[in-house]
Amino acid sequence: MNPLNSCKVAIGALKVNALRSFLAMLGVIIGVASVIVMVSVASGAGEAIEARIKALGTNVLVVMPGSFTSGGRRAGEGTAVSLSEGDLAAIRTKVQSVAAVAGTVSGSAPVVVGNANWTTSVNGVNEDFLEVRDWALADGRTFTDAELRSGAKVVILGATTARELFAGGPSIGEQVRIKNVPF
């Protein structure tokens, strides 16, 4: 059978079984489209995870106290509940390759301004936190050394929290309450 004759037979078979041919073609198209979508989603998720890891910085080490369990087995050696200011000072002075040490205490709490409230993550930080995270402030200022030494109640709001509480208006100099404590 020559190629021209084979093409005629194939076209005739497609015409006779038009619905079957259409469904087979539709199945192939849907299958290929599904594979393309899955590869795209996986690639996008991988890029999103990579971006979040890069946001931490390439030279950031996170030290957490205590131990944890995984699958019923204890992992980690320490049983300390938290690291102390002394621990931070020791890391700062005894580890030569450390440029900055940022102590943080993290949690979640409602932040209230007037009748507006927004539950968000709240971080108590020291003076090196913004440097370690390589974060720049869009508005306002960081807390001063005097405020840090005196234990003054100073808050730096993230963009989303400021937008939710102040409806896009100015937030600098305004008082907010975190767990009913004014800042």
Give the pLDDT confidence score for residue 117 in this predicted structure. 87
Q: What local confidence, expressed as pLDDT, does residue 35 receive? A: 96
User: What angle (nearest 5°) sits at the alpha carbon of residue 132, between those of residues 91 and 146?
Assistant: 80
pLDDT digits (tens, 9 = 90+) for 99-156: 888 888 888 899 999 888 889 888 888 888 888 887 888 888 888 888 888 988 888 8
- At 68, is the pLDDT very low, low, confident or very high (cuts 50, 70, 90)? low
Count of the separate structural domains present in the chain: 3
Report the C-alpha gap between 84 and 87 in whole angstroms: 5
Maximal CA-CA distance, the chain:
96
DSSP 173: T
Same-domain pairing of 45 and 66: no
Domain match, 167 and 178 both: yes
- Tell me, yes or no, whether 164 and 129 share the same domain: yes
What average pLDDT does the segment 55-76 reach? 66
Q: How far apart are CA 62 and CA 54, in angstroms?
A: 14
pLDDT at 177 over 80: yes
Same domain as 82, residue 41:
no
Computed on alpha carbons and rounded to an integer, the radius of gyration of the chain in Å comes to: 29
Specify whether 106 is located in the same domain as 178.
Answer: yes
Q: What integer pLDDT is reported at residue 24 of this predicted model?
A: 92
Asked whether 117 and 86 are in contact (CB, 8 A), the reply is: no
Looking at the structure, do residues 51 and 91 belong to the same domain, yes or no? no
Is the same domain home to 127 and 160? Answer: yes
> Region 86-101: what's the mean pLDDT?
84
Buried b (16+ CB within 10 A) or exposed e, 158-169: eeebbebbbeee
Q: Examine the domain organization and report whether 163 and 93 are in the same domain.
A: no
Residues 115 and 141 in one domain: yes
Domain that holds residue 70: 60-100
Last residue of a domain, one of 100, 125, 154: 100
**In the block, residue with structure tokens 């305004």:** 174
Identify the band that residue 30 occupies on the pLDDT scale cut at 50, 70 and 90: very high
The verdict on 65 and 122 lying in the same domain is no
Same-domain status, 44 and 13: yes
- Percentage above 70 pLDDT, the chain: 89
CB atoms near residue 157 (< 10 Å): 23
Q: Which residue(s) pair with 165 in the sheet? A: none
What percentage of residues in the chain have a pLDDT greater than 90?
A: 15
